[in-house]
Amino acid sequence: MTDNRNPLLQDWQTPYQLPPFHQIRPEHFAPAFAALFEQHLGGIDALADNQAAPTFDNTVAAFDAAGASLDRVRLTFENLCASESPAALQAVEREMAPLLAAHDSKVAMHAGFFARLDAVHQQAAVLDLNEEQQRLLQRMHIDFVRTGATLQGLDRERFAAIATRLADLQTQFAQNILADESGYQLPLTSEADLAGLPDFLRQSARGAAKERGAEGYVITLSRSLVQPFLTWSTRRDLRETAWRAWTSRGENPTRDNRPIAREILMLRQEQARLLGYENFADYALADRMAGKASAVHALLSQVWEPAKASVAQELKALAAQAAALGEPTGIEPWDWYYLAEKVRVARYALDDAQVKPYFSLDAMLAAMFDCADRLFGVKFIEQTREQTGVPLYHPDVRLWEVRRGDELVGLFLGDNYARPNKQGGAWMHVYRRQRRHGGKVTPIVVNNNNFARTDGGPTLLSFDDVRTLFHEFGHGLHGLLSDVNYGRLSGTNVPQDYVELPSQLMENWATVPEVLAKHARHVTTGEPIPAALIERIRASQTFNQGFSTVAYTSSALIDMALHLRRDPAGIDIAQFEIDERERLGVPREVGMRHRLPHFGHIFSGGYYAAGYYVYMWAEVLEADAFDAFEEAGDAFDSALADKLHRYVYSAGDSREQGSAFRAFRGRDPRAEPMLRKRGLLRTE
């Protein structure tokens, strides 16, 4: 399909067939989607009208290959809405969200096509299919059933209407958070306001001010700015101001997320009941490794009480530190990061202001690329705009070819800086998914972070930032190393409680001493990081784990409690949060990592709804997986790396995940390595 006036509908004659970012305008998307919806549905109609008997090839594989033109435009749209979304594009996103959902419902409820798919599915036991083909048939049939294909009459119409409305509400929720984060500024106008802030943070605050056309220094609600400010500012009053702004995102009276969240919960519950489930959590978990809420609670209960006990000890240390500083010993939430940093420095002789010069962004990018090469034999070769001839969607973005010998494996985009029109947090996405059926297609993967830009000089990362960088790179490798036939099974298209395994596993290589010794070099002197400092960093990894575990687990438990409710009508999520925190005994000084009004994981989309627990579920897998390398005495053991590549990073959803893990590890996963890693393993 071509349209000389709309670049989205033309053949992309760009290097690597990247989207022609320099030509795309917000107004191009609506007409492009309208044309592509019609084209896609026409293709599904043709599959349904095929007079030949339904087979795997003419039904299942053919559906997987359908809609490639729509897919490339939709992925481009999703990425730009997240990474570079000015007001005009946000307006288009609001317009398109319900239309995209309505199109998905038309496909999912296409009676003619589903009849053919169901016919193939009923013959699955007697068909001569390999493991990947069997998996595709199974997964595709489940996809259709879970999106309403078996519903009839009014139930069918209602399910589609719910999906459309949810898409609209989830977009509103996300855009409200973005507005709160991009619109807030805490100006620091005097030297007294800057008290305690190290040079790198001052440079970042100055850079944020310049980017927003302000004078002096500004703290925004980007985690990469507000959390360091809470860590180093000696101004308790300003810490409180920043903390209150950070934790009240989503509660602005002019864009209040609380009624939006309530309607989302009501619609999800109705959706689940239409499909025969008692609540949305049961529906969501039925297609994950956990299977049931009881399995989730069994996991989280292993860490909850030990973590709270650790918090009690941590609070004593913070109170002692506050007393030593002559400050109030009644610890408030806005004191935690500040006092914990003082305790950490004293306990481990680790001052982040001294550590960060060893962790420049460029050096850590080189470190993670080196790890990928040593583990999986792939090299990352940067391509500049001068080399490609095509600008990317923002000057911040960098492009690497990913090669294994002469073979182009894929493309990797790195977008690492916070911007006003970029959503917060860190994430991986794709512009193009890997597949082989119908011709080899190489993936285009993007990693997004929100590091604070410095006002001149190199970007320096905290060690938490380094872990985040490696985490998203693990997702990136999951997409880049995918080696399957069918797009539906490609890369990160796996259950949510497995998708975090490749990402969290990659974090481990950020703490391997030989990796740090090679790449962590002082940004000014070039001297390698001292071995003693590496050991102190590694030793400090269990520090403050009570706080971190409680903050995370409280969010996971409250997410699950919300979605287990059968009667969300009339729920006040703010009061529900208060009641659940009291019931669980969440320490007031810690709170939740994500308060409900800005809990984008569960309300900006359905992917992590009743699923925030997945990070800890995957942590069990990754801690046990990395233990295999520890047992081998070599973080780059070639035999283990080959198995890791085959069964985890390249397998996508081509085989059942429990089976894939057992093929790598030789047994089922054990929780002890995760508990030990967090310093929560009970010894009695």
- Domain hosting residue 430, numbered range: 356-542
Torsions phi, psi for 444 (to 5 deg): -120, 115
CA distance 390 to 388: 5
pTM: 0.93
Residue 151 pLDDT: 97
Q: What single letter denotes the amino acid at residue 462?
A: S
Same domain? For 94 and 213 the reply is no
The one-letter amino acid at 550: V
Work out the mean pLDDT of the chain and round it to a whole number.
95
CA gap 628, 285 in Å, rounded = 29
Residue 379 lies in a domain: yes
Residue with tokens 């005994």: 585
End-of-domain residue from the set 95, 119, 146: 146
For the chain, the domain total comes to: 3
Do residues 78 and 207 share a domain? no
Q: What token pair was written down for 68?
A: 């490639």
Instruction: Indicate if 393 and 510 belong to the same structural domain.
Output: yes
Residue 517 lies in a domain: yes
Strands (E), 306-453: 379-383, 398-404, 407-417, 427-432, 444-451
Q: For residue 66, what pLDDT is reported?
A: 96
Do 378 and 244 share a domain, yes or no? no
Q: Out of 97, 128, 146, pick the residue that ends a domain.
A: 146
366 and 483 part of one domain = yes
Q: Is the dihedral of CA 133, 136, 140, 143 positive or negative?
A: positive
CB 484 within 8 A of CB 435: yes
Q: Among the three residues 248, 268, 290, which one is the final residue of a domain in this structure? A: 248
- 114 and 32 within one domain: yes
Do 387 and 523 sit in the same domain of this protein? yes
88 in any annotated domain: yes
Residue 346 bridge partners (DSSP): none
**Structural contact between residues 545 and 680, judged by C-beta atoms closer than 8 angstroms:** yes
Whether 660 is covered by a domain: the verdict is no
Indicate if 114 and 197 belong to the same structural domain: no
Residue 129 lies in a domain: yes
Active site residues: 472
- Tracing tokens 């067939």 back to the chain, one arrives at 17
Do residue 242 and residue 133 come from a single domain?
A: no
Assigned domain for 118 exists: yes
Low-confidence ranges of the chain (pLDDT < 70): 1-4, 682-684
**Domain membership flag for residue 645:** no
Q: Where are the beta strands (DSSP E) in 384-423?
A: 398-404, 407-417
pLDDT in the model for residue 684: 47
Looking at the structure, do residues 191 and 99 belong to the same domain, yes or no?
no
Q: What is the pLDDT of residues 389-438, one digit of tens each?
A: 878 999 999 999 999 999 999 999 999 999 989 998 999 999 999 999 98
